[in-house]
Amino acid sequence: MAKKAVEKVVFNPVKSLQGFGFKSEYAYLAGFASIGLSLTSWLISRGKKTDDKAQSDRWGIFVGHWAPTFFALGIALKLEE
More confident residue, 6 or 39: 39
Written as one letter, the residue type at 72 is A
Domains of the chain, residue spans: 25-80
- Band of the pLDDT at 6, cuts 50, 70, 90? low
In terms of C-beta density within 10 A (0-12 exposed, 13-18 middle, 19 or more buried), how is residue 73 classed? buried
**pLDDT (average), residues 30-39:** 92
Q: Does 43 score more than 60 pLDDT?
A: yes
